[in-house]
Chains A and B, each alone.
Chain A
């Protein structure tokens, strides 16, 4: 018996855009999978195809032994029989129904007592007591989000689809709900596919992650791993890898690769490179770069690059520094650290980067 969802399908749009999903598998384990990609890359369409609201042109969508969509002459399973919980981006709470009626909508056909008990239970669980008679228009963004989640969950779906669940919230609510949502989803143990274009959201909520761009799935892996180890330049750009520079492998010893980037020499883990003289791209996340003023102390597993500060830009509580270390390098440090060091433009600094934090992408051709 095969468990969980397996989807491979294609959908073409009039404008020429194509969605081509290959081997999207979800949840024999009840885990939270993030579908990550820039706006307009087709993430929402994937969710809508899985929910049955949009019809692929070809391919198959299978849940366990049940075909939801198969191109071999079969009719697609209509959305009302897929038992999928779908929470769209702006929640789409029924404006003419009370909170209680919204949540209970999917329990039609159940005895009234059981239906009421389940609605009450779900409302308690999500902290919505006291709002039973409210209309959706009279709820805050965070409450609307929980009502939408409750409405999807009360039917005990086999699969949960969340489309940008936090994007309709203002900043403080987003932070709070982000922290609440993960334990909630974990306790549910329903396989969940969550769409987002926000890195912090993806890291906070996801177990595994698919990177998507221009209608195609590019890379799959543990969420934090994909963000620090993109498989190619495309993914590196989508996960906003700050420093990507061409380099050349000089030698490989004891699993450590020595790489030349411009005039600088770096030590990285030799995970994805096999040969000396191989052309690579060197990827370094800004938050993995530690800055010290003046000369630093190098060690075997830690790079120490001398450089100068080209520019400093304040980003909320953080400061983004652009350095010249023989190649352009971005670093992210707290505003406080910056103040403490009295860091100014033109200062001589050392950038410290641990070898495991330097990721190498083999350069094809």
Chain B
């Protein structure tokens, strides 16, 4: 592999890691809200979060491009207030990866949070714990496996994201090109060996992430307790 290829892999992994860092707090907050019983607008938030799962990634990319472009409502504000340029920079890569991997994380984390027996949380309250303490010492630790698994899934998804990335970040070698985009453009250029080599790297990374995630979801026995009325 050339130095250029290594740089590409390293860049993609870094972008995926950054996007996962972004997904984690936002996704946890969303998952926690969605794991609560009924509230107004829950169905709407639920749908919006999951939308990137089923929408063509290119459409998600188009929406992001419109929102964060320098003339877009969010992009203009960011540029005028903070001097930030988003589209066609590495920030757009992170943004696209984050939006595309958020639904996977939220789904995994939400299931994990819902599986925590509410009796544990209630008992912690009778022992004097406030909501934050219950969340940090009971709910999150008991849901940690699912949350970590969701994180791995989100990371794997980010590594492979193509459609939204190319829309909003483009294909600037050394600046915004990620692994999948590089595979695509190599094929376009008619190169034969490089796409397969990059595809191998891609598959290996994805395999490792999913494998870890699967291992983590299988909980050991004894962590569950059935609720009784």
A interface residue count range (under 10 / 10 to 19 / 20 to 34 / 35 or more): 20 to 34
B138 touches A94 (CB 8 A): yes
B127 touches A90 (CB 8 A): no
Stretch of A81-89, A181-189, A289-297 on the interface side? A81-89
Is A38 interfacial (CB-CB < 8 Å)? Answer: no
Is B181 interfacial (CB-CB < 8 Å)? Answer: no
B123-141 at interface with A (beta carbon < 8 Å)? 123-130, 133, 137-138, 141
Is B223 interfacial (CB-CB < 8 Å)? Answer: yes
B123 touches A95 (CB 8 A): no
Complex alpha-carbon distance, A365 and B49, angstroms: 66
Complex alpha-carbon distance, A86 and B120, angstroms: 12
Is A4 interfacial (CB-CB < 8 Å)? Answer: no
B125 touches A92 (CB 8 A): no
Closest to A42 in B: B229
Is B175 interfacial (CB-CB < 8 Å)? Answer: no
Is B215 interfacial (CB-CB < 8 Å)? Answer: no
B225 touches A108 (CB 8 A): no
A53 touches B126 (CB 8 A): yes
B126 touches A79 (CB 8 A): yes
B124 touches A96 (CB 8 A): no
B228 touches A79 (CB 8 A): no
Annotate A33-75 by CB proximity to B: 1 below 8 A, 0 otherwise: 0000000000010000001110000000000000000000000
Residues of chain A within 8 A of B221, CB atoms compared: 137
Q: Which of A44, A52, A155 contacts B127 (CB 8 A)?
A: A155
Is B119 interfacial (CB-CB < 8 Å)? Answer: yes
Complex alpha-carbon distance, A86 and B117, angstroms: 16
Q: Which of A44, A90, A137, A155 contacts B128 (CB 8 A)?
A: A155
A84 touches B119 (CB 8 A): no
B125 touches A90 (CB 8 A): no
A147-161 at interface with B (beta carbon < 8 Å)? 151-152, 155
Complex alpha-carbon distance, A82 and B122, angstroms: 13
A44 touches B229 (CB 8 A): yes
Is A326 interfacial (CB-CB < 8 Å)? Answer: no
Is B142 interfacial (CB-CB < 8 Å)? Answer: yes
**CB of B146 to closest CB in A, whole Å:** 13
B120 touches A92 (CB 8 A): yes
Closest to A106 in B: B127
Q: Which of B129, B137, B142, B225 contacts A90 (CB 8 A)?
A: B225
Complex alpha-carbon distance, A278 and B191, angstroms: 107
**CB of A363 to closest CB in B, whole Å:** 36
Is B37 interfacial (CB-CB < 8 Å)? Answer: no
From known contacts A89-B228, A155-B128, infer whether A95 and B142 are also in contact, taking CB-CB under 8 Å.
yes
B130 touches A95 (CB 8 A): no
B119 touches A92 (CB 8 A): yes
From known contacts A105-B127, A106-B127, infer whether A79 and B122 are also in contact, taking CB-CB under 8 Å.
yes
Is A255 interfacial (CB-CB < 8 Å)? Answer: no
A86 touches B129 (CB 8 A): no
Chain A CB within 10 Å, residue with most, of B128, B223, B225: B128
From known contacts A44-B229, A53-B126, infer whether A137 and B117 are also in contact, taking CB-CB under 8 Å.
no
B126 touches A96 (CB 8 A): no
Binding site for B on A (CB under 8 A): 44, 51-53, 78-86, 88-90, 92, 94-96, 105-106, 108, 135, 137, 151-152, 155
The 9 closest A-B pairs by CB, nearest first: A106-B127, A137-B222, A79-B125, A86-B126, A53-B122, A92-B119, A79-B126, A80-B125, A96-B141
Binding site for A on B (CB under 8 A): 117, 119-120, 122-130, 133, 137-138, 141-142, 221-226, 228-229
19 further interface pairs, Cβ-Cβ under 8 Å (given A92-B123, A95-B224): A44-B228, A52-B125, A52-B126, A78-B125, A79-B122, A80-B127, A80-B129, A88-B123, A88-B228, A90-B226, A92-B117, A94-B123, A95-B142, A96-B141, A105-B127, A106-B129, A108-B128, A108-B129, A108-B133
